[in-house]
Amino acid sequence: MAFMKQITKSIIPALLFIFLITSSMYGQSIPNDRVVATQDEVLYYTYMWEGERYPDGRPKVSDDLLERLKNIKIEDAWQLMNEMGYRNQFESGWKMLHDDVPIVGRALTTVYKPKRPDIEDRLIKEGLAAGHVGAQNSWPIDMLQENDVYIADHFGKIAQGILIGDKLGNSIFARTGTGVVFDGSIRDIETLAELDGFNAFVRDWHPANRAENMLMGINVPARIGNATVMPGDVILAKRMGVVFIPPHLVEEVVITSEIVGLRDRFVHERVRAGVYTPGQVDARWTNAIEEDFLDWLINNHLDKLPIPIEEMQNYLQHRTW
C-alpha cells in the first residue's frame, strides 16, 4: 500500500505537468484573433524603418512627406525605386472614380481568399470574440487612421467581389481622408464619386454584393497584381497607376523626385528659350549646363529647394543622372 502511495505521488505531478503543457500548446497559445497580424509580425516585415510607428507596428511616415509626395510624378518615384532594386512596386490597369484625384497615404493591407466554409466560420467566430463588429470587409475600416489607405488583395474578383459601397466608402473617407486601392471591385460609384477628395482604384465596378470570399489577414504582406505590398508602405496612386513605396525609401524618393522636377523645369525653360537643344539636355549634362542649373536655382528658385543649397550641390555631385 505504501508502495502504491509512493507511485501515485510520483505520477500525479508528471501528469499535471503534461496537462499544463498540452493546455498551453492547444488552448492558451491560440490567439484570440488570427486575422490581424501581431505587432512582432509587422515589425519583422518592416524592419528597415527606424522612425515612428503606430501601436499596431506599422511605420508612420510623416504627414509632411505624404503632402510633398502628392506633387511627385509616378515615373520619378518608380525610376528611383527601380534603380535601387525595388522593381515590383508598380501596378497599372485600374479604373478610378476620378482621374485627377491622387491617393497618397500609408497602407493598411488586407488579404482575401475564395471562401472555404470551415476556415471562414472559425475566423469569424474568433474575430467577433476578439471585438470585431459586422461583416469581415468592415473589420479593417475600424482600424483605419487619418491618411491611411485601405489596400485589398481580393484576387481580382469582380462579380460578387464588392468590398465597399456608399456606406462603407463614406466611413473610410471619414476616417482617412484618402481612398482605397482594391484588386477587386466596388459598387455605388455615383454616390461615392460625390465625396470631394475621395478616390478608388479598382479593377472594375459591379452591382452584386460581396459573396464567396473571406478575409484572411489584416496588416499582412499582400500581392496587388505584380506588386508586393507591406503594411505601412506609402501609396502614390495617380492616373498612370499605383506605386507602393517602402517606408524607409520615402524621404529619398521625395527629395530626389523634387530635384528631378526642378531639373525638368529648368530644361523646359532653357529649350523653349533656345539656349540648349533637346539633344544637349537629354544626354548627360556637361559641367557648363550643371553650373547653369545651379545659377538658375540660386537666382530664381531657392524657395523651391527641398534641401539647403549646400546639400543640394553635394547631392548633385554624387548622383549620376
Structural domain includes residue 68: no
Which residues on adjacent β-strands are paired with residue 243? 90, 236
d(Cα 159, Cα 186) in Å, to the nearest integer?
10
Structural domain includes residue 7: no
- Domain final residue, candidates 223, 245, 267: 245
pTM confidence score: 0.85
Work out the pLDDT band at 298, boundaries 50, 70, 90: confident
Residue keyed to cell 511627385: 72
Structural domain includes residue 298: yes
Over residues 233-289, the pLDDT tens digits come to: 999 999 999 999 999 999 999 999 998 889 999 999 999 999 999 999 999 999 999
d(Cα 115, Cα 118) in Å, to the nearest integer?
9
> Are both 155 and 298 inside the same structural domain?
no
d(Cα 50, Cα 300) in Å, to the nearest integer?
36
Q: Can you tell me whether residue 87 is helix, strand or coil?
A: coil
43, with CB counted inside 10 A (0-12, 13-18, 19+), is: middle
> Are residues 232 and 247 in contact, defined by beta-carbon separation less than 8 angstroms?
yes
d(Cα 255, Cα 235) in Å, to the nearest integer?
16
Work out the pLDDT band at 175, boundaries 50, 70, 90: very high
Structural domain includes residue 208: yes
Q: Looking at 57-61, 157-161, 167-171, 295-299, which range is the least confident one?
A: 295-299
* pLDDT attached to residue 16: 38
Q: Percentage of residues in the chain with pLDDT exceeding 90? A: 78
> Are residues 158 and 206 in contact, defined by beta-carbon separation less than 8 angstroms?
yes
* pLDDT attached to residue 147: 98
**Residue 93: pLDDT over 90:** yes
Angle between helices 250-272 and 287-300 (to 10 degrees): 100
* pLDDT attached to residue 143: 97
Radius of gyration for the chain, computed over Cα atoms and rounded to the nearest angstrom: 26
**Residue 64: pLDDT over 80:** yes
- Measuring CA to CA, which residue among 271, 229, 226 is closest to residue 246? 229
What mean pLDDT value characterizes the chain? 89
Structural domain includes residue 176: yes
Q: What angle do CA 278, 307, 302 make, to 5 degrees?
A: 65
> Are both 241 and 292 inside the same structural domain?
no
> Are both 159 and 281 inside the same structural domain?
no
Structural domain includes residue 19: no
Strands 148-153 and 103-114: parallel
* pLDDT attached to residue 153: 98
**Residue 222: pLDDT over 90:** yes
Regarding predicted confidence, which is higher, 15 or 260?
260
Query: What is the domain-level CATH number for residue 230?
Result: 3.50.30.40
DSSP labels, 126-181: HHHHTT--SSGGGTGGGG--TTEEEEEE-TT--TT-B---HHHHHHHHHHHSSEEE
> Are both 152 and 292 inside the same structural domain?
no
> Are both 120 and 188 inside the same structural domain?
yes
227-240 exposure pattern, b = at least 16 Cβ within 10 A, e = fewer: bebbbbbbbbbbee
Number of domains in the chain: 2
Work out the pLDDT band at 307, boundaries 50, 70, 90: confident
C-alpha cell at 175: 476616417
Q: Percentage of residues in the chain with pLDDT exceeding 70? A: 88
- Domain final residue, candidates 185, 212, 245: 245
Average pLDDT estimate for 290-305: 86
Regarding predicted confidence, which is higher, 110 or 303?
110
- Domain final residue, candidates 245, 277, 299: 245
Over residues 33-59, the pLDDT tens digits come to: 889 999 999 999 999 999 999 999 999
Structural domain includes residue 300: yes
Average pLDDT estimate for 172-197: 97
Work out the pLDDT band at 319, boundaries 50, 70, 90: low
Q: Return phi, psi of residue 181, to 5°.
A: -130, 110
Structural domain includes residue 4: no
**Residue 14: pLDDT over 50:** no
Regarding predicted confidence, which is higher, 14 or 155?
155
Show the domain range for 209: 92-245
